Amino acid sequence: MQAYDEHGTPVWQADYDIYGNQLNLKGDRQFVSFRQLGQYEDEETGLYYNRFRYYDPSTGGYISQDPIRLLSGESNFYAYVRDTNNWADVFGLEELFRGMKQKNNVPLTGNSADKLGVRPNVDIEVIDGKVYPNSGGMSVNKSIDNIPSHRKPIEFGGTQKGSAMFKIESDNLGDNLRFKADKNGTHGVIEPSRPMSLAEYQESLGALQNKFKSVCPS
C-alpha cells in the first residue's frame, strides 16, 4: 500500500501479511490509517475496525462475535475468513457463472435447473412456505471450466441445448441474496441472506434478470 503527494511522489508505504500485520513501514504509521482490505486502525488500541466489530491482526481473528452468528455459515463466530491464503472477496466482485435458457440475451425465469430460479425442495429446502440461509439455493460456479457438461451450453463444450452462459458479480445480488461457496471453493449457491418466503426468494432471484450478463465463447 502506498500514498502519494500532489506531485506524485511517494510519501508513505507499507506491506501486510495475510492477517493484516503491517510490515516494512516507510513513514508515519498513522499518516494512513487504512489497513489491509480497507480496515481502519484504532490508534489507541491497535485494533482494526470493520464497521460492526474490531479485528486483531496479531491473532488473525475478531475480538467480538459475528453479529449474524450462525447465518454466516461458519461455526467460529470470531473467524476472519476460512482460508486467508486463497479466499478474499475484498470488493464483492467475484464473478459467478450459470448456464440458462435465454431470450434476447436475457435469462428466462422459472423453477428449473436451467432457468433463473430454484426447484423447491430440490435446490433449496422449503419449510412452511419459507426458505432459510444455509439450506440450499440456485447453483452457480466461479469458473466456467468447473460447470458440469449437462449444465454448460454447447458453445462452451457442454450439452445444454437452447441456453447461454451468463455471469453476475457477487456485489450485484442485492440485500436479499448472498453467495455461499461450497467447501471446494469453486461451486456455490445464491441463497437467501435471511429467512423469507419462497415467493420473495424467487422474486429476488428474478430481479437479477437484467444484472446477469451474457458471456461470449472465447
Local mean pLDDT, 10-residue blocks, the chain (218 residues): 87 83 85 77 83 80 74 66 51 80 96 96 96 94 92 94 94 91 84 95 97 91
Residue 58: strand, helix, or coil? coil
Q: Same structural domain for residues 30 and 103? A: no
pLDDT at res. 211: 96
In a domain, 208, yes or no: yes
Contact between 202 and 126 under an 8 Å Cβ cutoff? The reply is: no
In a domain, 85, yes or no: no
Q: Same structural domain for residues 194 and 107? A: yes
Q: Same structural domain for residues 68 and 33? A: yes
Q: Same structural domain for residues 143 and 199? A: yes
pLDDT at res. 89: 47
In a domain, 83, yes or no: no
Q: Same structural domain for residues 99 and 11? A: no
Q: Same structural domain for residues 125 and 187? A: yes
In a domain, 88, yes or no: no
Of 196, 155, 154, 160, residue with least CA distance to 178: 196
In a domain, 81, yes or no: no
pLDDT at res. 70: 64
Distances (CA, A) of 185 to 53, 83, 88, 114: 26, 10, 11, 22
DSSP state of 187: E
pLDDT at res. 37: 66
pLDDT at res. 81: 58
In a domain, 188, yes or no: yes
Q: Give the count of domains, the chain.
A: 2
pLDDT at res. 192: 94
Q: Same structural domain for residues 113 and 53? A: no
Alpha helices (runs of H) in the chain, residue ranges in sequence order? 198-206
Q: Same structural domain for residues 59 and 118? A: no
pLDDT at res. 91: 45
DSSP state of 201: H
The grid coordinates listed for 148 are 458440469
pLDDT at res. 99: 97
Q: Same structural domain for residues 119 and 56? A: no
Q: Same structural domain for residues 99 and 68? A: no
In a domain, 57, yes or no: yes
Q: Same structural domain for residues 193 and 137? A: yes
Domain range spanning residue 171?
Answer: 95-214
pLDDT at res. 68: 66
Enumerate residues 6+ apart whose C-beta is below 8 A from 47. 41, 54, 55, 56, 63
Q: Same structural domain for residues 200 and 122? A: yes
pLDDT at res. 90: 46
